[in-house]
Amino acid sequence: MKSSSARRFAKALIGVAKEEGKIDAYGKELRSVVAVFKGNEELYKVLLNPMYKIEERRSLIGSVSGSLKLDEYVGRFLAILVETRNIRLLEAVAEAYSKLEDELSGRIRAVVEAPTEPDAVLLDEIRKKISLAAGKEVLISFKENKALLGGLIVRMENTVLDGSLKTQLELMKEKILEGVV
């Protein structure tokens, strides 16, 4: 339910962003608010605490919106999340918004996992090959995974390309066992 609610909120905001021609700007603003909330856990607690009057909570989110110089509609959106006690979904809403933003922009995100960070040339080559296969712009990020012996794993949307040494050794072991049995 949490993810479906977050996606509905994200769709509503991206609908407004489309009308205003500010899809990327709203996404950046939403992510900046998430960063502020991650940096100050007490802010979430106050905004969710029914001991504070709704006017106080509205005023607080208004202050946050003002200090970050958020677009009027993003500020209103955050106020709605506070009033409906859905501000707890903010991070999930931001993630859903980013996915919708990527869909509209014709891009996908890929995460490359390896025991150490691959050089820029290899990451660029991976990006080019995925882009060619998917027909979309590809944004690549790196995640360190010390559990891998070597090789790498590429994750994008619902696809995992596992070229890790660990997996290759497991496949070889299976083939040896199949030949023996």
Per-residue pLDDT reduced to its tens digit, 45-65: 888 888 888 888 889 899 888
Architecture of the 2-103 domain: Orthogonal Bundle (1.10)
Question: Does residue 164 surpass a pLDDT of 90?
Answer: no
Q: Where are the domains of the chain?
A: 2-103, 107-180
3-state DSSP assignment of residue 106: coil
In terms of residues, how long is the chain?
A: 181
Residue 12 has pLDDT above 90, yes or no: yes
Quick one: which H or E segment has residue 147?
Answer: none
Which amino acid is present at 171?
L
Average pLDDT over the chain, rounded to whole?
Answer: 88
Q: What pTM does this model have?
A: 0.74
Contact between 62 and 79 under an 8 Å Cβ cutoff? The reply is yes
pLDDT band at 2 (very low <50, low <70, confident <90, very high): low
Q: Are 160 and 153 in contact (CB under 8 A)?
A: yes
What pLDDT does residue 17 have? Answer: 92
